[in-house]
Structure 1
Amino acid sequence: MQFGFAYAPPLIISAAVANKVFDTLARGAKKESEAFLVSNKPGTLAGFFSMNRVRLMQQWMKLDEVVRTGRPAEARNQEGPGTEFFSELVENIIPMSYGSALALADHLKLADATNEVRVLDLGSGSGIWGIVLAQKSPRVQVTAVDWAGMIPTTKRITQKFGVGNRFKFIEGDLLDADFGEGYDVATLGHILHSEGEDRSRKLLKKTANALKPGGTIAIGEWLVNDERTEPLNGLMFAVNMLVNTESGDTFSFNEIKRWLEEAGFKNARTLEAPGPSPLVLATKS
């Protein structure tokens, strides 16, 4: 029965969110429901669950065809379909990354910065990684890189959070865009899994070239173990990448560590942070 009705929990939550059931019950809601499912709470995931029912599950229904043909239901790692999808998604999943970005900002001791800190936010989406770092210190200046169609969304959200004047924006594919060099920090917030191994390795090398010696790269991902037997969330997300991208996947810490070392980084390590997995950090040699 558990497997036969595995589709039921997200549909039940989506229907409840769409009809504001949790809003109505807010006074008596459990702590988790009040924090994440009441639509007017700052950390709400209500928008994500509503979108999950409409956009994600439709593609998962094509899983048998995806496995048979080896082609995704929709290649959302491509700019056309990806821009439409992510323009709607990114603001709804800000709470999923906010805590991790805050942990990174604290780890970097940005509040104590006395010199300018240049941040490169790659695949910026909502801009939340750069936003949180900028909120920690007026010394932080952020360069956000994403598809041309995504940049208006990023600009709007950075203005909403009050740090838009400390962002500049570069449009383009991550492997094609010229984002320069001399950065202190680079963030890749849940980007590698949709890029796949080949593009990810190239992107890490390009990122290393953009950082100063001693600069820090921070990677948010859905990590799996070396045997690819757990955790379940990371394995399920790998199937999500199979359905929605051309070559996306989830990776282990040791895989990413090896790529980082090949790209010119050292001291690959993890930083415990709220989110599906610890952050992966490394230092440019």
Structure 2
Amino acid sequence: MSAPDNAPSPQLFFETINAFQKSAALKAAVDLNLFAAIGDAPATATEIAERCQCPLRGIRILADNLTILGFLTKADGHYSLTPSSAVFLLPQSPAYMGGAVKFLLAPGLTEAFSDLASTIRLGRLHTTEHGTTAPDHPAWVEFARAMGPMMVPTSQGAAALLTLDDSRDTRVLDISSSHGAYGIAVVLKNPRTHLVALDWEAVLAVTEENARAAGIANRFSKIVGDAFTVDLGSGYDVVLVPNFLHHFNLEDCTRFLKRVHAALRPGGKVLIVEFVPNDDRVTPPPAAGFSLVMLGTTPEGDAYTFAEYERMLAEAGFKEATLHPLPPTMQSAVVAVA
């Protein structure tokens, strides 16, 4: 007889306590170029080991575990990439995400979770005062270089929500611009739009590189500094706020959105991109779970619900707030009118 579905089981405990092994396996595969070694044709462990220039035992065990995890398939002793691995883990793919491993598993981030209990007991970060919100934090240069390809689907979905007046010149401000994917996507869609990117100086060097590569260098300028204190300028048609507000508490978010409202022309729009959980704060899991990342890496950040964004925006002077999921990603856009 099989056990009932609700019978007590230690499976979840062991899967969770050993989850770091899954991250290590994926990182090893990226570091060893294992996905490229397989490519578009099935390969045996011996063939993969030769191409990776590694002993057979380690490659066989790694490939089997990647198959268990769902990154590979295995048939008749040959390993193949899944469709998702072919799109996101082959270096030649335009949607390659392997470069993000260096940022997402950087010691500065992973070590923040080594003693999460202390953070919770203290009610604040126990490792550093500001976490990743510290001025000019070096992690954001790595983020800008590594995470840009991951943002392409989200940025294109966000850009599709905006319609700018093509009969006149328009201006878009991209807050915490980083890789610049969001602002660049909007500018490429609107030939008379000028992009103003705001970030720290070292990060903006990456933004500017990407703007040149996208062919919009003549429609690009930058503002260097702290988004809470630097002069934002005024008269913008759109202000983009992608993946920024989750780093701060509700009061600081509202204070910042008041600055955004003042920088927009009447009728201009703010477009926020975020992980937006439902009101129950446990669904959908990818968005709701992001709050734990903010607990471990920021002093007061969180994953905010749409109801919370509505209140923040209303207090900042905005109206007509709307929520727009951005499939296939786990993020959503919140758009409101000044």
TM-score range, shorter chain: over 0.9
What secondary structure does 2:182 align onto? Answer: helix
Residue number among 206, 210, 231 corresponding to 1:153 in the alignment: 206
Identity %, equivalent residues:
30
Matched, 1:11 2:24: yes
Aligned residue number for residue 134 of structure 2 = 78
What is the distance in 1 between the residues matched to 2:199 and 2:242?
12
**Cα offset for 1:252?**
0.1
Q: Is the 8 A contact 1:260 1:282 kept in 2?
A: yes
**Cα offset for 1:220?**
0.5
Residues 88-143 of structure 1 show CA distances to partners (whole Å, capped at 9, x for unaligned) of 01232223322222123223245x72221210101111111111111112201011
What is the distance in 2 between the residues matched to 1:164 and 1:31?
35
Higher relative contact order (CA 8 A, sep 6+): 1
Q: Is the 8 A contact 1:219 1:279 kept in 2?
A: yes
Aligned residue number for residue 292 of structure 2 = 239
**Cα offset for 1:78?**
1.1
Residues 32-61 of structure 1 show CA distances to partners (whole Å, capped at 9, x for unaligned) of 001111122111110112332333323222
Residue number among 306, 319, 328 corresponding to 1:253 in the alignment: 306
Matched, 1:52 2:104: yes
What is the distance in 1 between the residues matched to 2:150 and 2:315?
30
What secondary structure does 1:125 align onto? Answer: coil
Written as runs of structure 1 = structure 2, the 5 A alignment for 1:108-119 is: 108-110=162-164, 113-119=166-172
2:286 is matched by which residue type in structure 1? N
Runs of 5+ unmatched residues, structure 2: 1-13, 41-79
Residue number among 98, 106, 130 corresponding to 2:152 in the alignment: 98
Q: Is the 8 A contact 1:15 1:50 kept in 2?
A: no
**Cα offset for 1:271?**
2.0
Q: CA RMSD in A?
A: 1.7
| Count of matched residue positions in the alignment of Structure 1 and Structure 2 | 281
Matched, 1:142 2:142: no
Q: Is the 8 A contact 1:271 1:278 kept in 2?
A: yes
Q: Which sits farther off after the overlay, 53-62 or 211-220?
A: 53-62
Matched, 1:221 2:274: yes
Aligned residue number for residue 332 of structure 2 = 278
Residues 245-271 of structure 1 show CA distances to partners (whole Å, capped at 9, x for unaligned) of 111111000100111111111111012
Aligned residue number for residue 198 of structure 1 = 251
1:281 is matched by which residue type in structure 2? V
**TM-score of the two chains, using structure 2 as the length reference:** 0.78
What is the distance in 1 between the residues matched to 2:113 and 2:36?
29
What secondary structure does 2:16 align onto? Answer: coil
What is the distance in 2 between the residues matched to 1:39 and 1:61?
31
Matched, 1:133 2:186: yes
Q: Which sits farther off after the overlay, 20-29 or 54-63?
A: 54-63
What is the distance in 1 between the residues matched to 2:238 and 2:252?
20
1:267 is matched by which residue type in structure 2? E
What secondary structure does 2:151 align onto? Answer: helix
1:47 is matched by which residue type in structure 2? G
What is the distance in 2 between the residues matched to 1:35 and 1:278?
22
Residue number among 38, 42, 50 corresponding to 1:25 in the alignment: 38
What is the distance in 1 between the residues matched to 2:269 and 2:255?
17
What is the distance in 2 between the residues matched to 1:172 and 1:214?
26
What is the distance in 2 between the residues matched to 1:76 and 1:173?
14
Residue number among 7, 15, 28 corresponding to 1:2 in the alignment: 15
What is the distance in 1 between the residues matched to 2:307 and 2:105?
34
What secondary structure does 1:3 align onto? Answer: helix
**Cα offset for 1:30?**
1.6
